[in-house]
Structure 1
Amino acid sequence: MRSWLSLPYPNSEDDFVARRKQIRQKRRLKFFQHMWQIVFISSATTGLVWLASLPDLKLDNSSQIDIEGNKLLTRETLQDMVPVSYPQHIFWVKPHEIAEQLEKTAPVKSVEVQRTLFPSKLTVIVEEREPVARALQFNEEGLLDENGAWMPLHSYPSSIDQPQLTILGFDQQVAEVWAEAYDHISNSPVKITQVDWRDKSNLILITELGTVHCGIYKPNKLARQLKTLDRLRKLDRVLDPESFLYLDLSDPNSPVLEMLDSAKVDLSAIEL
């Protein structure tokens, strides 16, 4: 058996020196890393402050806002609606928040805002809502798009060509069904100039043939009513607007004329 006395005796002094050297190297490395972080952060902060102080990196007025995609709304109208306080450093402008705010306040479907540093400007790209009808809401004049979104009339320039179609009785209930109803109305062969929804139990249309009572609105029912109305267009003699009060299409299979003398004329038996 080999005696433990024959094993090499460790040099404890050399190990201690090596460990001290290693510890100093680690401390020196940490020191330089820390100093580099301080220098980097200080330089970056100084650089940002310097850039932000440059006059060319400010929005001084609305002329530095470019508008794209507008057809109905004027450039100046949309520029004035952009929620930016002047002067404003371009770095502090938040394009996403501006887009969200404009979608809430402007008559547009969607907004994209792009920021440019040199030269400092904002580019606002909009998709407008095209008005298809006029409607009152809370006693204020406004315009409707095809999806039932109501927009105050003052949002548009006074020179805009307003739609010929008028909606009476517009409210949230009507807004929810307007998209489908407008699809039928806009494709009707018989011109419709007014839709009266004030009585929810009786939808009334003002058409080129006269006043039409439709009863309770139902999408599929309205489609059939408009087809019947188109067929009745051939009866010019019967459908003289001066000879009757209204055409009752509450049952599209049994159209009835309400005459001026309170008489009723059943048109279902007439060959169309």
Structure 2
Amino acid sequence: MRRDRDFGQVLKAIWQTLSLSGLLAITVWAMTRPNWVLRDNRQVAIEGNSLLSKPVIVSRLALAYPQSLLQISPMAIAQTLESYPPIADAKVARRLFPPSLIVQVQERTPVAVAIARLIPNSSTPDSKASVGFLDSQGAWIPFESYPAQVRQRLKPQLKVLGSPETYRPYWSSLYQKIGQSGIEVLEIDCQDPRNLVLKTEIGTVHLGPYSERLTKQLHVLAQMSPISTQINSRQIAYIDLKNPAAPLVQMYQKEPEESSVQSVPTNPKIIKSNPQ
């Protein structure tokens, strides 16, 4: 009885192996038939794109036509797409009925124009400047990565100055906190790690090195928004918020022979003091 049982199990295993082998052989045969071939990019479906057109994305697939679906590696195509800076994530799948390729992409959304190199003591790019875009996570997207017609539509209001290596560790947090502050920030100058400078609707703001105090600094700055109704913005050199507990408004003061800078403490309201 035991030998009969063992013999039955062997036969069952052989049958399962033959069935799987046969199924695999049929699948391979079917997929190599003419009906299972990609003949042109009309059989490629692109999903999830908004900035990039289908022709632009398809041109990045590096597919040769005609090509059997079996010879296509979805993982390799996805990795190729993800190496293209404007695309953050890609998923590729083969579809048998009808034979086609489904490509799902997640594009990066540029939130700022980034200038990595500038003429010293200015906000002007030098002749070798690297200009690109940043997304909310700090990914650098070279300017030339986008076709000309797309670049014309990409006009983020925010400008970031400085090397991405300098601000990348804290960019995501910085961008999120600025967005939640309710303050209109036009430019972020990260060129000096010792002093983060913001150009805002209120004026230029010096924050010192990036730190966990940023939330408090932005809160104080928001409370100082009435300053524009109390002092002519042209008289303000910059707002010093390195110590948010004791903010200062550095003001220009014209004298007979020269211009100087004076400090006006604020609490956070402006308290005018006599020229020093």
- Inter-partner Cα distance in structure 1 for 2:227 and 2:144: 43
Contact 1:113 1:125 in 2 (8 A): yes
Show the counterpart of 1:250: 242
Q: Deviation of residue 177 (structure 1)?
A: 0.8
Q: Per the alignment, in what secondary structure is the counterpart of residue 209 of structure 2?
A: coil
Cα deviation 1:202-247 (Å, max 9, x = unaligned): 11111111111111111x2111111111111112244432112211
- Inter-partner Cα distance in structure 2 for 1:234 and 1:242: 15
Q: Deviation of residue 262 (structure 1)?
A: 2.3
Show the counterpart of 1:267: 265
Summarize the Cα distance change of 1:93–1:263 in structure 2 as closer, same or farther, 3 Å threshold.
same
Q: 2:217 aligns with which of 210, 215, 225?
A: 225
Q: Deviation of residue 115 (structure 1)?
A: 0.5
Show the counterpart of 1:52: 32
- Inter-partner Cα distance in structure 2 for 1:42 and 1:179: 53
Summarize the Cα distance change of 1:41–1:265 in structure 2 as closer, same or farther, 3 Å threshold.
closer
Q: Deviation of residue 73 (structure 1)?
A: 1.8
Q: 2:161 aligns with which of 162, 168, 186?
A: 168
Show the counterpart of 2:135: 145
Show the counterpart of 2:201: 208
Show the counterpart of 1:199: 192
Q: Match of 2:176, as an amino acid?
A: D
Q: Match of 1:176, as an amino acid?
A: P
Q: Match of 1:240, as an amino acid?
A: N
- Inter-partner Cα distance in structure 2 for 1:180 and 1:89: 46
Show the counterpart of 1:93: 72
Q: Per the alignment, in what secondary structure is the counterpart of residue 262 of structure 1?
A: strand
Summarize the Cα distance change of 1:43–1:209 in structure 2 as closer, same or farther, 3 Å threshold.
closer
- Inter-partner Cα distance in structure 2 for 1:73 and 1:212: 36
The percentage of counterpart residues that share the same residue type is: 31
Q: 1:65 aligns with which of 20, 27, 44?
A: 44
Q: Per the alignment, in what secondary structure is the counterpart of residue 242 of structure 1?
A: helix
Q: Deviation of residue 143 (structure 1)?
A: 1.4
- Inter-partner Cα distance in structure 2 for 1:249 and 1:109: 36
Q: Which runs of 5+ in 1 are unaligned?
A: 1-32
- In the superposition, the TM-score normalised over structure 1's length comes to 0.76
- Inter-partner Cα distance in structure 1 for 2:27 and 2:105: 34
| 1:117 is aligned to 2:122 | no
Contact 1:209 1:239 in 2 (8 A): no
Aligned length: 239
Contact 1:254 1:266 in 2 (8 A): no
- In the superposition, the TM-score normalised over structure 2's length comes to 0.75
Q: Deviation of residue 71 (structure 1)?
A: 1.8
- Inter-partner Cα distance in structure 1 for 2:231 and 2:40: 61
Cα deviation 1:67-88 (Å, max 9, x = unaligned): 1111222222211112323332
Summarize the Cα distance change of 1:53–1:226 in structure 2 as closer, same or farther, 3 Å threshold.
same
Cα deviation 1:127-153 (Å, max 9, x = unaligned): 222111111357332211111111123
Answer with 1 or 2: which has the greater Rg: 1
Q: Match of 2:107, as an amino acid?
A: E
- Inter-partner Cα distance in structure 2 for 1:102 and 1:47: 28
Show the counterpart of 2:124: none
- Inter-partner Cα distance in structure 1 for 2:42 and 2:136: 32
Q: Match of 1:262, as an amino acid?
A: S
Q: Deviation of residue 43 (structure 1)?
A: 11
Alignment of 1:3-82 (within 5 A): 48=28, 51-54=31-34, 56-82=35-61
- Inter-partner Cα distance in structure 1 for 2:244 and 2:62: 51
Give the stretch that moved more between structures: 73-82 or 259-268: 259-268
Q: Per the alignment, in what secondary structure is the counterpart of residue 119 of structure 1?
A: coil
Q: Deviation of residue 163 (structure 1)?
A: 1.2
- Inter-partner Cα distance in structure 1 for 2:21 and 2:176: 60
Contact 1:253 1:268 in 2 (8 A): no
Contact 1:115 1:121 in 2 (8 A): yes
Contact 1:256 1:264 in 2 (8 A): no
Summarize the Cα distance change of 1:266–1:62 in structure 2 as closer, same or farther, 3 Å threshold.
same
